[in-house]
Structures are given as C-alpha cells and as structure tokens.
Structure 1
Amino acid sequence: MKNNRGKKLSPGTLSNQALNLFAAHPGKKYNARQIIEKLKISNSKDAVLHVLKTLGRKSFLVHHKEDFFQWNKENLNLAVKSKSHDYFTGRVDLTRTGAAYVIVDGQESDIFVPERNTGNAMHRDIVKVEVPKRSNRRRPEGKIVEVITRSLTHVLGTLRVFHHYSIVFPDAASRFPEVLIKVEDLHEAKDGDKVVALITSWGNSQNKAIWGEVTSVLHEVDDNEVAMQTILLSAGFNLDFPDNVIKESEAIDGKITKKDIQERRDFRKILTFTIDPETAKDFDDALSYQVLENGETEIGVHIADVTHFLKENSALDKEAYDRSTSVYLVDRVLPMLPEKLSNDLCSLNPNEDKFTFSAVFTFNDKHKITSEWFGKTLIHSDRRFSYEEAQQRLETGEGEHAEVLRKINAIAHKLRKDRYRNGAINFESEEVRFVLDENKKPVSMTVKERKDAHLLIEDFMLLANKSVAKFVAKKTSPQVPYVYRIHDLPDPAKLTDFALFAKEMGYTMKLDSPKNIAESFNSLAKKIEQDATLRILSPLAIRTMAKAEYSTKNIGHYGLAFEYYSHFTSPIRRYSDVLAHRILFENLGDAIYRVDQESLEQKCKHISRQEVKAAEAERESVKYKQVEYMMSHIGDIFEAQISGMIEKGIFVELPASKAEGLIPFANFGGQYKMDVSKLKAMSKYTGHEYRMGDLVKVKLLDADLSTRKLEFELLEEED
C-alpha cells in the first residue's frame, strides 16, 4: 500500500486507495479512524467517513453497524486480483472504433481500454478501471470494471414498434446506444416518431440490453432541431427542467423590500449600463460610473445577485449545480437556470431595479486603483448597449454616454497594459460568428472580431474576478477555502515540440523563463497579424497551454499573470460563480466563514467536467452549422491554408470561416507523401512541395451533415 506520509488526499485518490485496501483484505472490517491509520493520511475522520459511505452506496463496500465497512463479497473476484492490479477512477473518452481512454486526474498518461474491455461504459461516463501493476506495455492498459456515474441519461432517435417491444434507433451521427422500450412505456408514441427516451436500465454483464421509456415525442421537427437536441443529450445535458424546479422558480418573488434597501448599498441613481451581444437575453453584469467629490473616478462592476434567489440545497440549487453551466449552441442557449431567473429576476435588464453583488473601484487621475469595496447592492440600468453600439461611440465620440464610455475605456487600456507588462499572454481561440435566417439556417459565417467594446468589459470583469479572489485569499490564515480559476504553466514537452515547429516556420521561441515564454507568445501573436502563413501557429500555440479549471488549491493563473483569480462575474450561467458569491458574502466585514475544503474541491471537479462537456457541445454545433452553410457552396472555389498533415493527406482551413476539411493524398494521383517532419508533403516525381501554412486554392466537392465533414479538391497552381 502506498505510504502517503501524513498527506491529505483528494476524495478521488482517497477513494481509490481505500478500495485497494479493502480489496486486499476482503474479510476485514475497517472504520474511518482505522483507514486513516492504515493509509497514513491526515484527512479528517468525517471526510474519510463521507468517502466510505459513498463507496457503500455504490455497492463497493458493505456498511455495518457503528460505521464499520467491509469489501462487498459480490466483488470478491476483484479482491483476488487486487495484489496484481491497481484501480483508478476516471472519465471515459470513447473513440469511434469502440476502444476508449480513461482520463484520470493526476495521471500523466490516459489509460487505454480495448473495445472488448469497455463493458457497457459510454462516452464521458465516470468509471472504475483495473490496471495490471506489472506490464510490458509502453502505455497503461486496463479494463473497465464498474461504471460509477453515467453521463448519458436520455437518447434521441427514431422509434420502431414491434409486437412485444419497441426500439429507439439513434441517428447514425450520434454515439447513442439503441434503447428497448416496453409497450407500457411508449406513452402513446407511434412507429416512426422522433422521440426522446429516458434510460431506466443499463443492463448487466449477462444481459447488456439497455431499457428506457419515452418521455417526449418531437412533432414536426427538422434536421437542425434533431441535430441540436442530439448534441445536447450526447453531452449529458437534460433538455428540460424538472417540474419541481420550474414550480420552485415560478414561486419566487422578486420584489425589493424596505429591508432590502436598508441592507444594501444603493446605486440606483448612479449612471449604470450594460454592454452585451445584440442577441443576448440574460445580462450578468453592468458598469456604473461617477466622478467623486475629490475628483477621483468610481467604477462599479455590478453582478447579478443570483444567490439572493437561489437558496442553498433547494431543488433549484441542486439542478443548477448538476448542470453547472449554460450551454451556448449556435442557434440556442440551454440555460443553467430556468427562464424566470435567467431572463427575468436575475437579468440586469434596462430600466429595472435589480439585486446585485458588486466590486466597486476608485481610480485616480493616473488610472491607478486607490480603493476597492465589495458588497450587496441595488442598481437601475439606464441603458443597454450592444457591442456594436458601444464600439461606434468609442470610435466616433458621438451618441449617448459616448464621453463616459471613452473615459472608462482609457482606464481599461491601463489595466490591460499592466496585465501584459506582468506577463499575461495575448492568445485566444478565434470564434466563428453565424447569421441565421428565420429557419435557423446559416446565411453567413465570419470570424468574430474583438474590438475595444469587448475588451473594455473583459478588462473590468478580470479586475473584479482577480480582486475578490485576492480578498478572500488574504482574509485570514490559514486561507478560507475558495473556488479559484487556476491555469498551470505550459507542459514542457508540448512547449518544446511547439518551439521546434515554430522554428521550422521561421519563428524562434524563448523558453528559459515563464516571462520570456509569455513574451514570445505575445510577439508571435503580433507576427501572425503581419504574416498570414504563420496563422496556423495560433491554434497550435493554444494547444500547448494547460487547460484552465476550478480548484480550491490555488496555483495562480499563468495565462493572465494573476496570483489570485476566480470567476465571480457570470453567476447566471456558471455555478462556480454562485459558489464564489456565497463564500465571499459570508466573509465580508469581520466574519470568517469556512466551507469544507474537500467537499468544495469535489464540486470544483464536477463544474470543470461540466464545462468541458459544454465546450464540446458548442464545438459540435459550430461544426454542424459550418457544414450546413457549406452545403450551398459545393463547387465553389476558396482560398485556404494548409493547417495540418497526416499520413492520409493534408488538412486545409478556410481563414474567413475556420471551416476545415481533408484532402487525401490519393486525390493527388498518389505522387505526394508526407515528410517525416510532418511539416511538408513532397512529390516523388517533380520535387514540388506543399508546406504547412501554404495558401492554396481549393474546390469544395462535398459537405456531409451526417459526419460533419467537408471534402475539398486541391487546384493546381497556375503558371
């Protein structure tokens, strides 16, 4: 058994090591205190007991009197093998071949699971995987022995009715399983209907049939509706809120009472406005502006006070936590909160009094912060600006509140300049913007352009997020457990590979210090603006970065060059911000309030997982709309850039829309082959080369919505 020498284990690691102990001694009973002694850890007795009870509920252990636990005899076959195997808990990444990788927190390598050993685990499930301790394989390989948490709860597909049962057949593009339906669970659905089915049984090792019941019939839905709902369900997001959650939200009274006014700082008579996308329906944040008597400028960052309405442990709160995030597809938003809250009570709509939680900053004439204040407030938004309206005022100096916007923008520029001076990295993924018609069909798509109106809001949100995190971190010692948004240093191996690749493209990275790395990335961003062939380095640079995530263990945010950072500014659409609001509020003034750190860390992990799932769903919807748009352009010729190479062929990307497709080498008459550097392909006969970053002309041959793939033909260069 691994000796942890008094270390405090995360719940996931504790769970794995406790299971190994019980499996190695299946006849013995242990309580929480004995587990602490056996594992030589410093976790509290309550924390260990919580983990043991969880393992008991999941049938790994038997819960005896006086909180003693024992290995479940049904798992005895695993106990026999425990001395030769390790057990890990992780998330399934299922490939299209049927094999899977299990991603385990803290493990350098993902665990490969052949198709024959995946059991009935599905994409994104949380599973227990068994890995031999001694293996000659280069990469860890294992077998999934238990599904702990299911990601998928519903399946969308076409219903086929047979004599004794029915089957929901999923669309070919999805990773849904087929679901059997009993006659009594059809609920009036008919043969050929598009239906959503709730999975009620995942079967077992002897009978792997999956059973469910029809929960809704999709009448007169088009391909787009089916595709978008499939994307959401595949990612594990429920399309509708439970009835009890809707009922709870509808019962909430949003009136402002005299008591509310007395307990809050009142900003309702101070100029306040929002700046958001033209199509936005929920408004998380607003800015207020006033010049104080001493000549200093006060800017308030006012955030929707969701926790005023979202009571802890209510049905509404539990549903918000389960979702953890709103999901933004191209043509819709699946909200974290019901519409009564997201678009009404919490949303900072213009010309309405609203509850807010604010971070208020005072700036001198050098644009330096002289004071800050955090607390509950009331605001009245005087104006709702779209980004385009705000940008027009910044550029022309004309229009309502133009002068105020320009003054705020000047302060934002100073905040941004300071951030980059401290080592922040100015690299971001490019986003595609679609214009849809009344039938949600894309009529145009372009890469979003970020101008000062966007950056202004971003700078003040970053300031608020950084400041509240620092406030909580500095509150007392030991630190109050908090939800930090952390971002680690780039992976050294990935960074080295990228630097070699960039050098082949003509750009040299300095890797001798974190600050020089940041400066190299920022310098590259400027070079890319001047040299189109370097554009392909942008997404590759982003891939070298660590993924930002939520944690109670603060390591700072490398990309932003912040020692302390959290998410505070979007509680309507992020549950992390809800937690941040609650902890911050309880620690205002002289109060010191601590939540259980291990429990909070588990919530951070769940929210991070949900964020990844939402991002995957959003990317899938973009791919779908890109291909849907390109279907009306088959036969058209485009300028493209070679963005990648594999043994099979070259990838090209259309810079104007980020649409990407593969051109197989077979289409070149078999004369081209990729070089070992993976940076170029060379003709065996003429010596002609195609290099990464080259601009080429391509013709669109096919756009397949079922696979989300584009097929291009490379046009020969004219002499």
Structure 2
Amino acid sequence: MSKKNKSKDSSSKKKKQHKAPAGKTRQKSSAAGVRGVIEITRSGMGYVTVPDMERDVIVRPQHFNTALHGDTVEVQITKSGGGGGRMEGEITRVVERKQTQFIGRISIQKNYNFFIPETDRPMPDLFIPAEKLNGATNNDKVVAKLTAWDKAKRVPEGEVLELVKQEAENDIAMKQILLSAGFNLSFDDEVMEQAERFPDGVSADEVKKRRDFRDVLTFTIDPVDAKDFDDALSIKKGTNGLYEIGVHIADVSHYVIPGTALDDEAYARATSVYLPDRVSPMLPERISNELCSLRPREDKYTFSAVFKITGKGEIKDVWLGRTVIHSDHRFTYEQVQEIIEAGEGLYGEEILLLNTLAQKMRKDRFKKGAINFSSQEVRFVLDENRKPIGITIKESKEAHQLIEEFMLLANKHVAEYIGKIVVKDKPVPFPYRVHDTPDEAKLGPFMVFAKKYGHTFDVSSPQRIAESFNQMLKDAQGKPEQHVLEALGIRTMAKAVYTAENIGHYGLGFEHYCHFTSPIRRYPDVLVHRVLQQCLDNEPQIDKKMEAKCKHCSERERSAMESERAANKYKQVEYMSQFLGEEFEGVVSGVASFGFWVETVEHKCEGLVSLFSLNDFDDFRHIEEDYCLVGKRSGRTFRMGDKVTIKVVAANLEKRQLDYELVLGHLASTENKVLQPTKFQHPKKKRGKK
C-alpha cells in the first residue's frame, strides 16, 4: 500500500516562532520536576533533554525509575550543576513510553520464562508468564510487548505477540526500525474489536444529515498499488459558465471517536509509516482499506470542500461540510497521464478540464510566492522475498499535479475558514500546518555559494527571497549545477510543523494552511475534521491541549521520516551488496571533514568515500562555506554536484552503510581548482564480473 504525496511541504509567514533567549531557561524546576526525553547511552548512563534548557540532566541507572531509552519523563533536579558542574536528577515519573514492543529471544528456565531484548541500549529482560508465551519455545526469536512495570514490580512483565521467522533477515530489520521509532507492529485486541464493530455501507438516517453527491460524476486517482483511497474528485457543469468541483475526503472522524481505544491508538501513532516493502498503518485495515477507502461503486461517507470555479480557475464560492459519495471509477496516475497526453479517454473531457484548471492554479501559486522545488521519488522493485532487484524513479507529472493542486486548494480554504473564527476574543485552537522562512544562518552561506554560479538573491523580504529561489531554479534548469543548488536550497528551508499558532506556510506561499485531505494516514487531519465540524455547527470548542497534540504529531512525523530514511538506506545497502568491486559513475551528494558522499547515477544509492582512502593522494581540508574538500598540495576539489567514478568496496547491512572508494586513475587528468565549477568529464561506468 503506497501513498502519493498530496500536499507538498517545502514551505507566507506572519510572525516568527518564539524561541527562548540565548542563555536563559524558560522551563523551571518544580516539586514535580521538569519534563523531557531520556537518552540512555550504550554504557548505561541517562541524559534527559528538557526543552529550552541549555544543558541536559544526568540521571544514573539507579534513578531511572522504570524509564527506558526515548521515554518522555519527569525528572527532579537533585544537583543544580553550579560552579561549572553538571545537573543531576532522579526520574519521578514516566509520562509516555516511546517503545512498548521489542524484538528478542525467549529464555525458558525451570521456573521462569524471560524475554531478552535485542537492543543497542541497556534495558532489563521481561518476565513472561507461561500463559503469555503464545507457543514460543526456548531460544525462539519473537516480538514481545511490555505489559506491566511499576515500582511495586522489580521486574517488568511482558507477553509474546508473534514468532519471528529466522530466515527473513530483511523482515526483522524493517520491524526493528519501526519498533525502535516507537511504532507498534500490531494493534491491541480492543482496537481491532472496535474497528470490526462498524457495519458496512451507509445508513439512511446518516445520509439525511449529509449533502448527497451520489448522482454526481466522481472518481479517484491514486498510485497503482494503493488500497486506501482517501480522496476523490467530483465534477459537474453548473450555471453561468461555472463548474462545481468537489474535493471529497474519507470521513474518518465519523468512525474514530474521541475517548475510544481506536482514537487513542491513532493518536499515539499519529501517522502511517511507508517503508519500501510495507506500510505500518495509523488505523486498522478495517478502517483504512474498507470502511473509509473510497472504493469504486460503493457509497461512502466523506467530508468535502466543494468549489464553484470559472473556466479561468477563479473561485466564486466554497462550501464545506459532510457528504456521501459514490465513486464511479478508480484511476491510476498512469491512466490519467495517458488521457492527458492523448487528449481523450474515459471521462476525458472532465479530466482534461480538471488538468487545465490545476495547471492554472499551479502557475498562479508560483507567481504569488510558492517555491518550485522539483522532486524525484526513488522506489525499489522487490522480489517475492522483499529483496530489491531494481530501482525506479518516479517524477511528478501533470496527473500527480492535478491531484496535488486540488488537495492544496481544499487544505488552504479549510484553514482560511477556521482562521476567521474567534471564541472569547481568541482564535479557535486548530492544528495549522506552518512553515517558517529560511534559516538565516543557512541562507547566508548558500547565497554566497549560488553567486559563484551567477545566481543572486534579494533578501529585502520573504517574498523577494522566494522569488529569488524560483528565478535561480529556473535559470539553473538543465545546467550542471541544477541538482546541487536544489539540494542545498532545500537544506536552507525550515521544517514544516503542526502548531496552533498560525504563521503561514512560506514554501507554499499561503497565509493559512492545514492538512485536511489524508485523515486515513495522518492524525492532524482527523483533528482538522473535528474542529471544522464544530465550527460548522456553531459550537467551536476551546481545546487547551491542541498545541501539545500538534507537537506530538510533529514529533511522530519526524520519527516516521527517520524510519523511512533508515529503511531506504537498508534497501540501498541490500541492493548494492551484489555489486562489490564494481565501478559506477556518481555525483558528490554531501561533504564533511571526514570524507564525502557519492550517489550513483544509475541506482541513486549513496555511499561514503572516506578521506582515509585518499591519504596517499593528497591531504584534504574541508571548506565548509563552499561545501567542498580541497587538496592542500594539488588544489583538487570535491564539491557537491561534482561527477566522479567510484568502486563499491563494502556494504554493511547491520550499520546500514555503504563504503565507496574513488577510482584514483581519473584524478591525474583533472584541472579544476578551488571555488571553480567542475568541468572535467569521467568515462562511463565499468562493470566487473558479478
């Protein structure tokens, strides 16, 4: 089950996010202590990182009080750290567990059964009652869950959830990545029971409460392997030359009710995680793939944004509310792209009109300040054992942009509607999706670097900066420096986050923005639906915990992204291990004081060329502001974007690490000096024997 990227976040800003002044601590110690996240080192020492405190708090193992690595905890300061010393503390309470499921082995003794976790951070074994072994025998590898551990219990208790097949090394690795990030591999029985309790279809009573779109042409457009169709488009010709276009989103909030185990689990996960060979869903499949999936020829509950639009793309009216739809057809992106290119096909007139409108909206968005970063999606082709046997590169085409623009339109107008609502002279708490202006510390060096290629920036306002970015991207199109400027430009950008404080979305050029269109896979969208319905009912509520919920969702999103990167890296190493000793063309994709990274042109797989492997050739130094390494004797540079030839020398699956060596025969003929763009060419890759 794969999912499209419907709302591009690279990311108009009203005001700066608040930051604590340098040298000051906003959060103060109290009788209950301060709250933070504990990191337990491999040596067993704990360090609690507290927001807005300059230094972390040391916690010794005897004071962990059942805390495990990554848990959110309250810590009581016992030593102030005055006179240059370190603050120390004792954990008084575990607020939230990061991880409750683990992979390890079962040890069955005469009177006791224990689960021994396979982790790189110290943690105690779990006592497993005999009735909780679930068929596991001595030395079996299993997934186990921590079920109970408090001060009264000296030893934590657990239960076996499933046996792990020994032959599936890559399967174990993917599960370990998910578990380490705090994403459970399965749903509790209570959650599954609640999901199964809902009846199929729609009820006549509920339909009466909704706007009925079942007789309007409606279809979905998704990836070929998608199973959760969470959005659909409807279109019909209205009066006065207007078109009525509906953006219909699966009504997850109809099923996922606050206070239920189903909602608690969805909130805890906060997002689905998309790894190369699997999906860790936010909701059970009964919800995501059946009840809420907008499958063709089935009546479904939806939450909709319906627009009356002119042929020129002008929005004349917007209606928001709950609906019921009946999808007439399920399209893949490839099918819609064929219709766009051929100019005909099933529902061709409607699709071509939607595409024309989407392209007009897209062009207008960039004119108003959205930044036009291009993107490529690298996907692995897997065999029946989930091992990578090939790599494909998916680029955004007009079919993808069609969906993207209408999703952006719906997200924007929902946020604009909520942004006008005030309760007791205050904005209604709402999970906005915001994106701050570029980081000044990163933007400065980047502008200096871009200027070497003839690109200048106007920094007189955020709008001018965005215009400068777009001009640079346009001018660099097709030139050797294009990809390095794109990659480095993206790094100057702030990270988009969820917050109740609306500062706008810089990368999209929107003053108001939220996530409304993917509630099957994102919990903030569920929150948006709930707040929107309250406002439509004229019953907006003050949720004092909204900002905390936004922070949690942002943190879970980051964890999901880190898991996806780790899994992609594992698959890269798994794939490239078949090419040990072979040579390939590559492009320098990153530079550090200890070496540089190279991404192969053919496979898009990144490995490290260590400076240690170049010591015999020259002594290189790192020029940070120019993103390059320079040889002290030869003046030879390695800069991001340079073309090189490498040899694959090591592929370590356990560390998820690829090691490359530069093919040194190509260095003698190069002439480029420091601060000059690379002009030399390398021969094509040479293949050795497999």
TM over 0.5: yes
After superposition, the Cα gap between the structure-2 partners of 1:558 and 1:205, relative to the gap in structure 1 and judged at 3 Å, is farther
Q: Would you say 1:558 and 2:506 are equivalent positions? A: yes
Aligned-partner residue type, residue 622 of structure 1: N
* Higher share of residues assigned helix: 1
**Following the alignment from structure 1 to structure 2, what is the Cα–Cα distance between the partners of residues 547 and 176?**
32
> Which of 381, 384, 398 lines up with 1:435 in the alignment?
381
Aligned-partner residue type, residue 524 of structure 1: M
> Which of 337, 340, 356 lines up with 2:286 in the alignment?
340
Moved more, 444-453 or 298-307: 444-453
- Residue in 1 aligned with 2:553? 607
**Following the alignment from structure 2 to structure 1, what is the Cα–Cα distance between the partners of residues 107 and 455?**
58
Q: Would you say 1:263 and 2:218 are equivalent positions? A: no
Aligned-partner residue type, residue 673 of structure 1: D
* Count of aligned residue pairs for this structure pair: 635
Q: Would you say 1:481 and 2:423 are equivalent positions? A: no
- Residue in 2 aligned with 1:711? 659
Moved more, 603-612 or 470-479: 470-479
Post-superposition offset of 1:714: 0.6
User: TM-score, normalization: structure 1?
Assistant: 0.81
- Residue in 2 aligned with 1:391? 337
**What are the within-5 Å matches in structure 2 for residues 299-448 of structure 1?**
299-427=245-373, 430-448=376-394
Q: Deviations over 1:94-153 (max 9, x none)?
A: 677878876555x3x86456796896554432234659475659xx97767454322011
User: TM-score, normalization: structure 2?
Assistant: 0.84
Aligned-partner residue type, residue 526 of structure 1: K
**Following the alignment from structure 2 to structure 1, what is the Cα–Cα distance between the partners of residues 256 and 186?**
18
**Following the alignment from structure 1 to structure 2, what is the Cα–Cα distance between the partners of residues 19 and 201?**
31
- Residue in 1 aligned with 2:29? 20
Q: Deviations over 1:527-560 (max 9, x none)?
A: 4532234423433322322221112221111111
Q: Would you say 1:192 and 2:139 are equivalent positions? A: yes
**Following the alignment from structure 1 to structure 2, what is the Cα–Cα distance between the partners of residues 204 and 552?**
37
**Following the alignment from structure 1 to structure 2, what is the Cα–Cα distance between the partners of residues 334 and 491?**
33
**Following the alignment from structure 2 to structure 1, what is the Cα–Cα distance between the partners of residues 346 and 618?**
60
**Following the alignment from structure 2 to structure 1, what is the Cα–Cα distance between the partners of residues 153 and 368?**
60
Higher RCO structure (Cα 8 Å, ≥6 apart): 2
1:351–1:383: 8 Å Cα contact kept in structure 2?
Answer: yes
Post-superposition offset of 1:438: 2.0
Q: Would you say 1:571 and 2:571 are equivalent positions? A: no
After superposition, the Cα gap between the structure-2 partners of 1:123 and 1:419, relative to the gap in structure 1 and judged at 3 Å, is farther
- Residue in 2 aligned with 1:651? 597
After superposition, the Cα gap between the structure-2 partners of 1:658 and 1:646, relative to the gap in structure 1 and judged at 3 Å, is same
Q: Would you say 1:286 and 2:286 are equivalent positions? A: no
**Following the alignment from structure 1 to structure 2, what is the Cα–Cα distance between the partners of residues 165 and 498?**
61
**What are the within-5 Å matches in structure 2 for residues 451-466 of structure 1?**
451-466=397-412
> Which of 611, 626, 633 lines up with 1:665 in the alignment?
611
**Following the alignment from structure 2 to structure 1, what is the Cα–Cα distance between the partners of residues 54 and 133?**
40
**Following the alignment from structure 1 to structure 2, what is the Cα–Cα distance between the partners of residues 222 and 469?**
45
1:550–1:605: 8 Å Cα contact kept in structure 2?
Answer: yes
Q: Would you say 1:547 and 2:499 are equivalent positions? A: no
Query: Matched residue of 1:555: which SS?
Result: coil
Q: Give the unaligned 5+ runs of structure 1.
A: 1-8, 11-15, 24-59, 61-86
2:116–2:126: 8 Å Cα contact kept in structure 1?
Answer: no
After superposition, the Cα gap between the structure-2 partners of 1:268 and 1:716, relative to the gap in structure 1 and judged at 3 Å, is same
After superposition, the Cα gap between the structure-2 partners of 1:359 and 1:100, relative to the gap in structure 1 and judged at 3 Å, is farther
Post-superposition offset of 1:500: 3.3
- Residue in 1 aligned with 2:587? 641
Aligned-partner residue type, residue 362 of structure 2: R
**Following the alignment from structure 1 to structure 2, what is the Cα–Cα distance between the partners of residues 101 and 538?**
37
Post-superposition offset of 1:308: 1.8
Aligned-partner residue type, residue 587 of structure 2: Q
- Residue in 1 aligned with 2:98? 151
1:155–1:176: 8 Å Cα contact kept in structure 2?
Answer: no
After superposition, the Cα gap between the structure-2 partners of 1:233 and 1:485, relative to the gap in structure 1 and judged at 3 Å, is same
Identity over aligned residues, as a percent?
Answer: 46
**What are the within-5 Å matches in structure 2 for residues 74-153 of structure 1?**
88-92=34-38, 104-105=50-51, 107=52, 111-112=55-56, 120=64, 122-128=68-74, 130=77, 132=80, 145-146=91-92, 147-153=94-100
Aligned-partner residue type, residue 522 of structure 1: N
**Following the alignment from structure 1 to structure 2, what is the Cα–Cα distance between the partners of residues 239 and 392?**
38
Q: Give the unaligned 5+ runs of structure 2.
A: 1-17, 20-24, 670-690
- Residue in 2 aligned with 1:179? 125
Aligned-partner residue type, residue 460 of structure 2: D
1:101–1:110: 8 Å Cα contact kept in structure 2?
Answer: no
1:552–1:597: 8 Å Cα contact kept in structure 2?
Answer: no
Aligned-partner residue type, residue 491 of structure 2: R
After superposition, the Cα gap between the structure-2 partners of 1:481 and 1:320, relative to the gap in structure 1 and judged at 3 Å, is same
Post-superposition offset of 1:236: 0.7
Post-superposition offset of 1:206: 13
1:320–1:337: 8 Å Cα contact kept in structure 2?
Answer: yes
Query: Matched residue of 1:151: which SS?
Result: coil
Post-superposition offset of 1:205: 14
1:176–1:234: 8 Å Cα contact kept in structure 2?
Answer: no
Moved more, 463-472 or 247-256: 247-256
